[in-house]
């Protein structure tokens, strides 16, 4: 059975995000996958120190012994990673970014060229597909939405995701409309 | 009416003011601003966003400044988490921050292509717009750095532009993005560096270790 790991990057007391996370969980429960949701704001995760010890001192594992190790283990063990976040200036929330920054031990420090650009080499033989779900309260069609899509296109390259998709949810939308958008983006990476 | 401009360099690298490359480059621009009569201040974002007192100090420093310079490395195609925390903190207090400011982003990545910073630059621009600040531009620098003594030239032109309330000239953005070495040489040198560091730490043979290998081989 495929495993979908959800990294919930909603911030404390954020309007509507809790309901959207529950909605995502409900959608996943209606599919044939095993779902594991990690509520990042409830985990102790330090910011990446940029020391690269996870590459050259303890290869494959961050030297900071906190919940981020478990997040990295869950991500590489899953088939699909879903990053759920409010759209913050076109990017992701700080809580989500803290966890994402700490995923670099999953990759090799060594470089290779991918589609004309330099990126890191894989450490593992397989990586999960990637889904970005961004929630906005500013209506759809903003520049931030385009930036968010471009961000996930790039993260998918660096995370070596075999497939990826992005859904943008308007917090004012009806739940069924949001559920449909979630189902569609998950179907794009083979979750149905 | 105060005529002296105040510039604040926010350093987004977790490595801090002394060890961060972005901080050192940003300091060259601060020096150029100081030479032109501006008052300057540097602040390390990570400790600032780690406590209530630090966040208050960040707000006060931003409130006092006319020019906000952000120097940050690229972390997973975006800004490091503490920089986003700083953006969130400032945005939440937007009502108490004057909007007559100008913001410049100075971003560097570990890949040779400066263009890999583009999305992070857009995120900075979106933040500046949300704060009501004028956007001075994003200087994106690749891992190979730039040619020769370009930093002094970049700093002088950036300082002039900021003090004239203008965006950084495109020519300067192109100059900063021009790599100092060919990509193949950067890749070769980079891979040698990583292997040498691993050897120095006694883990050269474990460079490709897969600590979660059981999951990998399911």
Smallest CA–CA distance, residue B78 to chain A, in Å, is 7
At residue B176, what are phi and psi to the nearest 5 degrees?
-65, -30
Integer CA distances (angstroms), B150 to A180, B11, B154, in order: 52, 21, 6
Smallest CA–CA distance, residue A31 to chain B, in Å, is 21
User: Does B216 have pLDDT greater than 60?
Assistant: no
Q: What percent of chain A has pLDDT over 70?
A: 99
Side by side, which strands form the sheet with A34-39? A34-39, A3-8, A80-86, A129-136, A164-170
Per-residue pLDDT of B80-128, as tens digits, reads 999 999 999 999 999 999 999 999 999 999 999 999 999 999 999 999 9
Identify which of A132, A145, A139, A131 has the alpha carbon closest to the alpha carbon of residue A171: A139
Element (DSSP H or E) covering residue A114? strand A107-114
Question: From start to end of B5-133, where are the E strands?
Answer: 6-11, 39-44, 67-73, 102-108
Q: Is A104 on the interface with B (CB under 8 A)?
A: yes
User: Does B166 have pLDDT greater than 80?
Assistant: yes
User: Does B146 have pLDDT greater than 90?
Assistant: no
Per-residue pLDDT of A152-181, as tens digits, reads 999 999 999 999 999 999 999 999 999 999
Confidence of residue A1 (pLDDT cuts 50, 70, 90): confident
Integer CA distances (angstroms), B21 to A184, B115, B136, in order: 43, 18, 21
The pLDDT of residue B1 is 58
The pLDDT of residue B149 is 78
Element (DSSP H or E) covering residue B58? helix B52-64
Question: Mean pLDDT, to the nearest integer, of A60-88?
Answer: 97
Q: Tell me the angle at which helices B21-35 and B150-163 cross, rounded to the nearest 10 degrees.
A: 50
User: Does B38 have pLDDT greater than 60?
Assistant: yes
Question: Mean pLDDT, to the nearest integer, of A138-143?
Answer: 81
Per-residue pLDDT of A80-102, as tens digits, reads 999 999 999 999 999 999 999 99
Question: Mean pLDDT, to the nearest integer, of B151-168?
Answer: 96
The pLDDT of residue B215 is 52
Question: Mean pLDDT, to the nearest integer, of A65-83?
Answer: 98
Q: What percent of chain B has pLDDT over 90?
A: 88
Identify which of A77, A134, A149 has the alpha carbon closest to the alpha carbon of residue A106: A77
| Closest alpha carbon within chain A to B191 | A110
Q: Are B215 and A77 in contact (CB under 8 A)?
A: yes
Question: Mean pLDDT, to the nearest integer, of B168-192?
Answer: 94
Confidence of residue B218 (pLDDT cuts 50, 70, 90): very low
Q: How many CB pairs under 8 A join A and B?
A: 155
Q: Are B61 and B8 in contact (CB under 8 A)?
A: yes
User: Does B60 have pLDDT greater than 50?
Assistant: yes
Task: Give this complex's ipTM.
Answer: 0.96
Q: Which residue is associated with the tokens 């420093």?
A: B61
Which segments of chain A does DSSP mark as H helices, in order?
Answer: 17-29, 53-56, 67-77, 94-101, 143-158, 175-188
Confidence of residue B214 (pLDDT cuts 50, 70, 90): low
User: Does B188 have pLDDT greater than 80?
Assistant: yes
The pLDDT of residue A162 is 98
The overall average pLDDT reported for chain B is 94
Among candidates B77, B78, B216 on the partner chain, residue whose Cβ is nearest the Cβ of A76: B216
Among candidates B85, B116, B216 on the partner chain, residue whose Cβ is nearest the Cβ of A126: B216
Q: d(Cα B139, Cα A133) in Å, to the nearest integer?
A: 29
Q: Are A78 and A128 in contact (CB under 8 A)?
A: yes
Contact B123 A72 (CB under 8 A): no
User: Does A146 have pLDDT greater than 80?
Assistant: yes
């Amino acid at each position: 059975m495929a495993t979908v790991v959800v990294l919930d990057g909603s911030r404390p007391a954020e309007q509507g995000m809790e309901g959207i996370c529950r909605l995502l969980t409900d959608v996943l429960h209606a599919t044939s996958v095993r779902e594991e949701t990690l509520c990042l704001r409830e985990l102790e995760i330090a910011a990446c120190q940029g020391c690269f010890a996870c590459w050259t001192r303890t290869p494959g594992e961050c030297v900071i012994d906190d919940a981020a190790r478990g997040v990295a283990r869950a991500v590489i063990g899953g088939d699909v990673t879903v990053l759920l976040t409010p759209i913050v200036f076109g990017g992701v929330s700080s809580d989500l970014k803290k966890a994402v920054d700490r995923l670099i031990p999953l990759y090799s420090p060594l470089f290779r060229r991918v589609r004309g650009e330099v990126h890191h080499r894989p450490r593992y033989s397989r990586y999960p597909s990637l889904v970005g779900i961004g929630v906005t309260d500013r209506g759809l069609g903003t520049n931030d939405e385009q930036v968010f899509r471009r961000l996930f296109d790039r993260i998918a390259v660096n995370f070596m995701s075999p497939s990826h998709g992005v859904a943008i949810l308007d917090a004012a939308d009806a739940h069924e409309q949001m559920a449909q958008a979630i189902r569609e983006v998950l179907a794009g990476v083979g979750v149905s | 009416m105060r005529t002296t401009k105040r510039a604040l360099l926010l350093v987004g690298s977790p490595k801090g003011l002394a060890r961060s490359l972005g901080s050192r480059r940003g300091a060259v621009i601060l020096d150029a601003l100081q030479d032109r009569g501006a008052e300057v201040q540097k602040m390390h974002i990570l400790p600032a966003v780690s406590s209530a007192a630090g966040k208050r100090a960040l707000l006060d420093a931003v409130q006092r400044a006319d020019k906000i310079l952000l120097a940050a490395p690229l972390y997973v195609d975006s800004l490091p988490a503490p920089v986003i925390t700083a953006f969130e903190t400032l945005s939440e207090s937007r009502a108490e921050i004057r909007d007559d400011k100008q913001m410049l982003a100075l971003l560097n990545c570990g890949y040779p292509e400066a263009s890999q910073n583009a999305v992070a630059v857009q995120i900075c621009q979106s933040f500046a717009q949300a704060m009501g600040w004028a956007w001075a531009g994003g200087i994106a620098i690749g891992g190979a750095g730039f040619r020769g003594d370009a930093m002094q030239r970049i700093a002088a032109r950036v300082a002039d532009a900021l003090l004239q309330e203008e965006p950084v000239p495109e020519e300067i953005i192109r100059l900063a993005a021009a790599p100092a070495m060919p990509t193949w040489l950067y890749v070769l040198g980079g891979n040698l560096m990583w292997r040498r560091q691993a050897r120095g730490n006694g883990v050269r043979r474990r460079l490709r270790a897969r600590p979660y290998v059981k999951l990998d081989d399911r």
